[in-house]
Amino acid sequence: MKDFFLSDCPRFENKIITSSFVVTTKQVKPKKTGEPYLALTLADRCGQVEAKMWDNVEDAMDAFEQDDFLKVKGLLNKYKNRFQITIHKVRRLADSEVDFGDYLPKTTKDIDELWRTLADFVSSFQDAHLRTLVQAFMADPEIALAYRSAPAAKTLHHAYIGGLLDHVVSLFRSSDLICRNYPQINRDLLLTGAFLHDIGKIHELSYNRSFSYTSRGQLLGHMIIELEMLQAKVEMVPGFPDEMKTLLEHLIISHHGHYEFGSPKLPMFPEALLLHYLDDLDSKMESMRAHFEREAENDSNWTSYNSSLGRTLLNTAKFLRKEPVVVAAAASSGEGIVTEAQSSPAPLPSSESGLLPEDDPI
């Protein structure tokens, strides 16, 4: 079991840590002198951190690869307001030395409950063809297992085990609400589009050790994979209307909403337009939520730069929080005056840091 997780970073800034991670990216780059250094992205279930190894690189650069588990000893500090690790020593870990659950983030929600919520929505469909189609997907053991486990994306949003299901259930709820305000919308069509729009992620992404793309995912992308999956399941539904199949195909290929974001067609009917905007909204709200969670220990009202949203974010809860007012009642005697030093908690003794010993063999 790991003793240190990346959520602990604020407590151990500017300290030497020794812990284990999975290597999500590995690059060998040249210094200005021409000598190599290692640039890594390390991860555990709480997030990712950039890491650099400047010295003794030639001994370490061939000792491990991307997706390997690594024991790392190094200095944890901040660079440009982001945590990073300057690595001193590394050792590749065998699978038998790690608990896989320590390295991939996972939803805190109940997967079975999310799946039941999805099934309840589908059972309420009025369109028998669409209801039978989605139930055929959900009854497929291989698809169901993957759908319940897959992330919704590699990094941008819902990037955790169970993220795809969490994202789609959220879309179902939003879609159901918005259909009440726009009665002209075909609710069953919109919800089916929400169910299918990212289902290809179960084949596009690999999520055994870290989140990465499969070869098929790199070459085809999830939308092409989804069209193939749809064709296979539609053939199992007797009398499925060709026109409805065409609408579902358009929902799939247009849901990114813009040519530059990978959609070969723009949304061309109301359900397609709604799916795009609801999908975009849900992904952006999750990106904000996750960013605030990662930086919960920061004192600032503002976060670091969010690359997926292209901006820094204001935490309104912190911004609106009132600072306590200290009233100095007997100012002449000094009684009742609380100084900053007196009100601040004492630092933790180093023996209580919870870190592995610095001389731990690596």
User: Residues 83-109: pLDDT tens digits?
Assistant: 999 999 999 999 888 887 788 878 888
Of 92-96, 135-139, 231-235, 357-361, give the lowest mean pLDDT range: 357-361
DSSP letter for 126, please.
Answer: S
DSSP 34-59: S-EEEEEEEEETTEEEEEEE-SSHHH
Predicted confidence at residue 53, as pLDDT, reads 94
Question: Is the pLDDT at 212 greater than 80, yes or no?
Answer: no
Distance set, CA 45 to CA 52, 84, 105, 223 (Å): 20, 17, 4, 28
Query: Do 125 and 131 meet the contact criterion of CB atoms below 8 Å apart?
Result: yes
Predicted confidence at residue 322, as pLDDT, reads 63
Residue 71, beta-bridge partner list: 20, 91
Predicted confidence at residue 266, as pLDDT, reads 96
For 66-94, what is the mean pLDDT?
91
3-state class (DSSP) for residue 234: helix
**What is the tens place of the pLDDT at every residue in 264-298?**
999 999 999 999 999 999 999 998 888 888 777 77
Query: Do 285 and 274 meet the contact criterion of CB atoms below 8 Å apart?
Result: no
Predicted confidence at residue 330, as pLDDT, reads 42
Query: Do 191 and 121 meet the contact criterion of CB atoms below 8 Å apart?
Result: yes
Q: Where are the alpha helices (DSSP H) in the chain?
A: 57-60, 111-123, 128-139, 141-149, 163-181, 187-196, 201-204, 215-220, 222-234, 242-254, 270-294, 316-320, 340-343
Residue 335: pLDDT band with limits 50, 70, 90: very low
Q: How many CA atoms lie within 13 A of 229 on its CB side?
A: 27
Query: Do 284 and 206 meet the contact criterion of CB atoms below 8 Å apart?
Result: no
CA distance 287 to 315: 13
For 287-312, what is the mean pLDDT?
85
User: pTM for this structure?
Assistant: 0.74
Residue 329: pLDDT band with limits 50, 70, 90: very low
For 247-270, what is the mean pLDDT?
94
Predicted confidence at residue 357, as pLDDT, reads 46
Question: Is the pLDDT at 344 greater than 60, yes or no?
Answer: no
Higher model confidence: residue 232 or residue 338?
232
Higher model confidence: residue 61 or residue 242?
242
Question: Is the pLDDT at 140 greater than 90, yes or no?
Answer: yes
Question: Is the pLDDT at 349 greater than 50, yes or no?
Answer: no
Share the mean pLDDT of the chain. 85
Of 28-37, 52-61, 331-340, give the lowest mean pLDDT range: 331-340
* Sign, CA torsion 347/351/355/357: positive
Predicted confidence at residue 197, as pLDDT, reads 95
Of 103, 104, 52, 54, the residue nearest 82 (C-alpha)? 52
Higher model confidence: residue 159 or residue 272?
272
- At 72, which amino acid appears? V
Q: How does strand 82-93 pair with strand 15-30? A: unpaired
Residues near 274 by Cβ (< 8 Å), separated by ≥ 6?
Answer: 175, 178, 182, 185, 190
Residues near 48 by Cβ (< 8 Å), separated by ≥ 6?
Answer: 6, 24, 41, 42
CA distance 129 to 189: 10
